Structure 1
């Protein structure tokens, strides 16, 4: 067997540039580039290997383009956003130094795994030889010398391994590629690399570096499950289909629309599934759950059959198990992951969404919902459309409502442009109000709902979709969590548009706090001091976020009204540079009408009147919770 002498780091890069994903016969590079922040743990290992590849990529079989980020958490967010925009068929690798550098990636790893998005993380580790022990930034565990701080990745990873010897690298990398391309098991893949092992040379087998395609599976539905599901649908008087992210990743959107056309079954969506069916489709009834549309939630409340396709049924989707109130409601779930298919005591179809929907359409040939139910669906949809129009054209003043900004963007953005958001009150407003025409257009991270995601995510999405206008909406709270990747965006000349909504506080948690009797405590940016009243409306804190964005190298346009915002957006689109549009909005809304509930516990005893009143409301709402057992 012929061999090639390389360091572990060099072998890792050479292996990765020759790995491809394949779906429906189309292949593309699986790991298309690298983010990395270097320190003593990886500068002479993975850092040297990336440099060598950049100087002369020929012998490796391809290049591993490198981008220099500013924050380890931010770079993982960018990689996850890139993977989402690439339909999970491509991702980026991220490397960081030992100790704090690597631990900074843990939040990003959790986000990727929760959202079922493939990212490859290569955290550096302490010396495998233990010669310089303890090394700088090493955490010592008196109970065992075998654990390191990187063990903290284990509970938030889809796959974790540590390479103690060069011979371990090949089987570890092969398993890593399997998980990255497994539609059911994917998430954060973590291979911890001790800093001495990274630089250690070994004779690796030459065939390790041959081109390899990892085929993304499309498991079909079994006949018995299809027949049982079809029988449930025929018997149902008020079925409702909930489309999750699995529909999008399976490229099953056309199949879903065809299924809805033929059966007349209404389709609601989750945050990850929005756009799987176009908003103006007759059967599209909008978002479902705690931040959903009134139309979808009314239908969900009385549905006798819920058909979940590619959804993991988060508490926002089920309104903390209060959304589906029909006493006889049953569930039929199509999911490539059995763990999700089994939820709510469902009839399980463990299969690819596209394969299952096409097969189920065949089983249901000639079946259609009752005309009276079809008329009800149309009425609910029409009524909600009027509410959306009202919420997005309020003429609110003196400061505009954020819903008006969303409405303007929705009207100006193209079908293949992308809106990005992640946390605060905005995902709720967007799920309720955004009229998605394509699955590309809507990119809201709401499985981990991580503040700070929006800025690095825009970078990742733009790299995946260079021809799309990428618009990231950021609140002033999220901005202050993780702004530093603006410098990377400016350095790399990545053309994205940031829309900064400045409302001088945390709008979402403030409203939640008020509804729970906690009086918006600690949610407003106001001048004061130690011991100040943190519920008072004092002078606004004089923080100039627009100036801060300019200092990172971003062009900033100030807007003071919706008309000015529209003109600013046109200017931003025409600019070849990254741009931020800065606009002040009303901290207190108004927001879309609420039609559902979310379980956030309230103190059972309190000396505060507002808290006692809120607990009584909570007790009444919680009484509606139920387990769905089929």
Structure 2
């Protein structure tokens, strides 16, 4: 079809998606996009029919997270578009490349409060990297090409294309080639050699250097360069949650995750280092819990592709606006001799040994931390690990042994409950031959469990570990610690039968409640073929520790061993 000269707008759009090497679409049809869905009959781009538009966007996020390629979404106008808002905002927070195509009423009806009209341009303006509305069929191909370019270059992010119905039916010429020419959008990826020299000269002076690694490293495909740099200079590393796996969790120089639920060793290193090199992290408030007292003794170098992030939260002594891969390559090329940091390394190692992550083992109840450790063993640390949001998310970050970049698929910046199930589905579509495990709480599960319908339909072999404590765990924990144990609206007094719910979706279900046999029971559940919902009963009073209270300095931790 795309070989024809004259195509309608829907055909032009799909032909343009093929030129962008789009493999599949996540979407939900409706009146304004019916011409587009009709044209899909003639194009080899499958559409994954989710059961809610929010699920479509989260699935596209999961796909984008593990591949680095833009996830593509198609939804209809009005409520279809507004249902996608949460996912778009989530992708913006976590810098994930998406192209979200929203249907719109015909151009003559825009602004008239027509049926299923919504001002999606205005609504998404603050939560997209850019948005377009196609008003002329001759602009359609250019807009699609620019949308993919914007979404995937510089700091990645979501782009919305709003497509009026009459444009999707208008006729236009198919153009083979388009040059990107956006004078106002010229992201800088090349690091200034002058600034890189400053970074490395300060490293030579430092006695207690520390690397802070954010998701920008994996987004730039700079893992190899980072690991080479770490091994060459023998500098300890702290990772943000979104960067877990960039350096293997069990690497001797990896101090673990920093921030609110980070390790004691990581947070103390952040508090006592004399030189901090931040590569690809935005100093989010869950990491820099008290900006005024963050890394108080340190000179700070901040390498980030987005100049808006440098100096926004934490003062920066050496700013470097660049792609992490280019910056690390140039840092290695300078070949400055490694310093002697043995005393500093010994200090960091001593904290790791004396104050590790821990939990009280017991045979009276199933400990969620133990569940995560067992799953790590079953999967040999090699699965794509997806979480929803809440306590289980932090236990996974703390206790799963991550080994490779992009391994953890989770909602970081927005903290979106309901993310886990559809994101896991998107990750599995991206890598059908890789193991995908989804951890989810009983609260988040009930927000998007309708997407279970996709599992049987597409025979997706995903294992779901549902940690059921009958409460909104993180809310419950904060209410106990900071609100006098007044559990306002955080306890589920009635719950669905999750096993019957799984059965209704033609998915195997296993309920585990025996702490004495939890290891063998989990192994048996993971050995089952096809998708499986594994419900694990855990105690409601189990807390995520250690913890830095909101606004407290990183070194003031609660629940340290």
TM-score normalized with structure 2 length: 0.91
Do 1:405 and 1:562's aligned partners in 2 also have CA atoms closer than 8 Å?
no
What is the correspondence of 1:11-26 to structure 2 with a 5 Å cutoff? 11-19=12-20
Aligned residue in 1 for 2:462: 496
Q: Does 1:196 align with 2:166?
A: yes
Q: Does 1:519 align with 2:450?
A: no
Do 2:243 and 2:406's aligned partners in 1 also have CA atoms closer than 8 Å?
no
Aligned residue in 1 for 2:264: 294
Q: Secondary structure at the match of 2:303?
A: strand
> Could you tell me which of 439, 459, 470 is aligned with 2:425?
459
Aligned residue in 2 for 1:50: 40
Q: Does 1:160 align with 2:122?
A: no
Q: Does 1:544 align with 2:497?
A: yes
Aligned residue in 2 for 1:98: 77
Q: Secondary structure at the match of 1:41?
A: helix
Q: Secondary structure at the match of 1:254?
A: helix
Deviations 1:505-548 (A, max 9, x none): 1010111122222534334335xxxxxxxxxxxxx424312222
| Alpha-carbon distance in structure 2 between the residues aligned to 1:438 and 1:623 | 27
Aligned residue in 1 for 2:506: 553
Q: Secondary structure at the match of 1:404?
A: helix
Q: Secondary structure at the match of 2:109?
A: coil
Do 1:268 and 1:287's aligned partners in 2 also have CA atoms closer than 8 Å?
yes
Aligned residue in 1 for 2:301: 332
What is the correspondence of 1:217-616 to structure 2 with a 5 Å cutoff? 219-321=189-291, 324-326=294-296, 328-343=297-312, 344-346=314-316, 347-363=318-334, 365-384=336-355, 387-388=356-357, 390-391=358-359, 394-396=360-362, 398-517=364-483, 519-526=485-492, 540-562=493-515, 564-594=517-547, 596-599=548-551
Q: Secondary structure at the match of 2:141?
A: helix
Do 1:422 and 1:446's aligned partners in 2 also have CA atoms closer than 8 Å?
no
Do 1:15 and 1:208's aligned partners in 2 also have CA atoms closer than 8 Å?
no
| Alpha-carbon distance in structure 1 between the residues aligned to 2:266 and 2:235 | 12
Do 2:265 and 2:352's aligned partners in 1 also have CA atoms closer than 8 Å?
yes
Residue 590 of structure 1: how far off its partner (Å): 4.1
Aligned residue in 2 for 1:23: none
Q: Secondary structure at the match of 2:499?
A: helix
Residue 434 of structure 1: how far off its partner (Å): 2.9
| Alpha-carbon distance in structure 1 between the residues aligned to 2:428 and 2:508 | 17
| Alpha-carbon distance in structure 1 between the residues aligned to 2:458 and 2:175 | 36
| Alpha-carbon distance in structure 2 between the residues aligned to 1:84 and 1:623 | 28
Aligned residue in 2 for 1:22: none
Deviations 1:74-104 (A, max 9, x none): 1100001111111x1x233211112111110
| Alpha-carbon distance in structure 1 between the residues aligned to 2:366 and 2:477 | 17
Do 1:322 and 1:624's aligned partners in 2 also have CA atoms closer than 8 Å?
no
Number of aligned residue pairs: give it. Answer: 546
Do 2:388 and 2:441's aligned partners in 1 also have CA atoms closer than 8 Å?
no
* Larger of the two Rg values belongs to structure: 1
> Could you tell me which of 94, 105, 124 is aligned with 1:115?
94
> Could you tell me which of 80, 85, 95 is aligned with 2:66?
85
Residue 478 of structure 1: how far off its partner (Å): 0.3
| Alpha-carbon distance in structure 2 between the residues aligned to 1:281 and 1:6 | 55
> Could you tell me which of 155, 169, 178 is aligned with 2:149?
178
Tell me whether 188-197 or 433-442 shows the greater mean CA deviation: 433-442
Do 1:415 and 1:438's aligned partners in 2 also have CA atoms closer than 8 Å?
no
Question: Residues 206 and 149 of structure 1: is their aligned pair in 2 closer, same or farther, counting only changes over 3 Å?
Answer: closer
Q: Which runs of 5+ in 1 are unaligned?
A: 20-28, 54-62, 140-147, 210-215, 527-539, 600-620, 626-630
| Alpha-carbon distance in structure 1 between the residues aligned to 2:228 and 2:18 | 38
Residue 68 of structure 1: how far off its partner (Å): 1.1
Question: Residues 503 and 397 of structure 1: is their aligned pair in 2 closer, same or farther, counting only changes over 3 Å?
Answer: farther
| Alpha-carbon distance in structure 2 between the residues aligned to 1:237 and 1:412 | 41
Residue 352 of structure 1: how far off its partner (Å): 2.2
Q: Secondary structure at the match of 2:228?
A: helix
